[in-house]
Every structure is written in structure tokens, then in C-alpha cells.
Structure 1
């Protein structure tokens, strides 16, 4: 059965999923690039960017799982890029170049309409102005029997947690402190929402925690 999942989502030790002041120079906000260090040294990440080598241990296993079995993605406007308000033009096509790593339909939550963008490698960005529920409906239809991945950013994950739409999630808790930024769990009572910890593993770069909804 198809699931709605969050996998490979990096969080600081003090609970931030991104630093403050996201910009072109700071895609994860200031200090945010410390969060995914567990991922960047893996064989999976190197393969994704066309490089050789990388670690093949626990971090790599979680990295590989975060890319498998998905038929559609949902991301927020901030995850797609640093632009705010009306689209100034159609030149910005995401952070990832001509061949983004999704290779499926990607539904981007936004208040501002824009035509879909077909990219190399099977990725098509669709811009959804009718809200998160409509995006999830369309993503499930596009994914078929495969899973839907909520790719971020923080507020997008928080929305689908609040509504109970997420079936399970893997968090990589990085041993860094950001002090401020976008807090993932502020105001959320995860046990009351039905989530429980079902697995955990620790490496030098992250504590991997799996949450599942009862």
C-alpha cells in the first residue's frame, strides 16, 4: 500500500530543520549546511552528483533508502528556491541544475501560479496553488502504488504532521546546535498525533531515528 513518508530529513540537536535567513548563498539558512554532513560523505550522495567513492555504512544505508520507492514528491516553495512573492520570470528552475535528483513528478506548494517545468531525467515540477491537501491528492494519484515523499522544508513537513498524513519518517539528528532557525517540532505533540519511535542507530555524524504512526 502506498505511504506518505519523510526520509533523510536532517535536524539539529536543538530541533531546527533549517537555519535562519535562507538565501541563494545559504540554501539551508545560515549554518544549515552543517545539518546534512552525514549524507554528503556517503556513496549514495557521491553517485547522485556523478562522483566516485564515499562511505557504505549506516549513513549510506539511510541515504539510499531516502531515494527509493517514491513515485512523487511534495516540497514547499522555499525548498524550490529563495524567491519570494510573484515569480519575476521563469528563469529559476530550482537548486539542482538541468537534471534534478527527483526523477518523478514534484508538486511545489506556492501561492503564485506558474506553468509546469519538465526537466531532464524524468523530473517535472508542478506548482500547486490550491493548498497542501490538493498537492497530496495529486501526488498520490501520480505516485500510483509507489510512495509519496514529503521532501521539505520544515513548514511543509510540519503541516503534514499536524494533519496526520505522514505514515513514517526518518530523521537524521546531527550533533550540531543552530540556536535559531526553523524549529521542526515546536508546538507539536507527536505522541498525541500517534507517532512513536520504532528504530534508532547512531554514527559519528548522526543519530538516525525512525518514527511511525500507530
Structure 2
């Protein structure tokens, strides 16, 4: 059975994975890029970036992934379903290079992009979406790409096998929080913690194997 994985998922000290309000000009709202600066400074993002702890985690994002599931707010800003020309934030050659399943109430035909990425639009439960993505992944793992609401829904449904979460030392105060309603979720995982000189802290959640 393939694994369900989350990688490079950044949250603030107060648990927000995105700011507000989201718009075409501000994909992460008032958070800007502050949650992701640690990743953008690594060699995995930019060849001139840093090696070390952050890069070691960042480069685990792609290997072994055969499909991704993301939420509507990761695919586009509010109102994107009304724009038939909208094809995501990433230009003609998105960085996924796999089938990508966008969870939305506004289903539309698939969009085939350069580099092997095809966006499919589903109205489905987490379990239904995962079944579809696993079939497309052809034995490889499925990545849950976010945003926070989708990550929270998959955690609540007990469908996450591995999660790499990065706590960034900023306080956002408002936005979309990942942990709401997930009291005690950590009890189902082995949790490892690694601090980085950049100031972020890496948390690795690995699902416990039933004894």
C-alpha cells in the first residue's frame, strides 16, 4: 500500500498555515512569504541556496510521489472557478509532474499542463479522493499538498501516514489554523523534532504501527 505524505508544511507559532485575506496578489494573505522563506533559501529551491538541515528536509518533497491532492484555495484565489482561463499559480509547467487532484465544489474538465502535470477537479471526501489518487499514483505515494483545511481533514480522517511540519518563529494572529479540532491527534504518531540554525523547527510525524 502506498503512503499518504505531507512535506514542507509550514505553520506559525500560533498554528496558522496561511494568513488572510487571500487574493490573486497575496496568495498567503498577510503572511506573505514569511512561512516559506526557510525553504526558499535552500539548494532544493535555488541552486545557490544553503545545504544543511533545512535542505535535507526540503528535498524529501518529491521522491516517490505519484500523485498530489490539494484544496481549492491552494489551486487559486477566491473566485477562480469563475475564470475558465485560470490554470493555477505555477505557469505552463507546474512543479508537480504528476496527476494533481483539486478538491472543489466547482468541478470542471481536467487541465493538462507541460511536464506531466494534469489537474483533475473532484468533489469528494478525503477517503474517496485518496482512493482516486492512489489509483493514478501507480504504486507510488500520494502527497497531500495543502492548504491547512485539507491537511486538517485528512488528519481527522486518519489518512496521513507521514507528515513533515515546519514551525516558523512568527506570530500571525489570524488566518487558517491547522490544529483546530484535532485534540490528541499526536497520540497516533511517533514525533521527532529537529531544530535548525535558520530558526525553524522540523517536526516529523510517523504513524504508529498497531502492536
TM-score by length of 1: 0.92
Report runs of 4+ in structure 1 exceeding 6 Å deviation. none
Distance of 1:134 and 1:94 partners within structure 2: 23
Deviates more, 1:199-208 or 1:52-61: 199-208
Distance of 2:13 and 2:98 partners within structure 1: 32
Inter-CA distance 205–119: structure 2 relative to 1 (3 Å threshold):
farther
Whether 1:101 aligns to 2:87 is no
Distance of 1:210 and 1:117 partners within structure 2: 33
Q: What RMSD in Å do the two structures reach over aligned CA positions?
A: 1.5
Q: How does 1:1-214 map to 2 (within 5 A)?
A: 1-46=1-46, 52-84=47-79, 87-191=81-185, 194-214=188-208
Structure 2: 5+ residue stretches without partners: none
Distance of 1:35 and 1:177 partners within structure 2: 10
Inter-CA distance 193–142: structure 2 relative to 1 (3 Å threshold):
farther
TM-score by length of 2: 0.93
Residues 108-137 of structure 1 deviation map (CA, whole Å, 9 limit, x = unaligned)? 000011010000110000000233322111
Structure 1: 5+ residue stretches without partners: 47-51
1:195 Cα deviation after fit: 2.3
Inter-CA distance 190–45: structure 2 relative to 1 (3 Å threshold):
farther
Secondary structure of the structure 2 residue equivalent to 1:30: helix
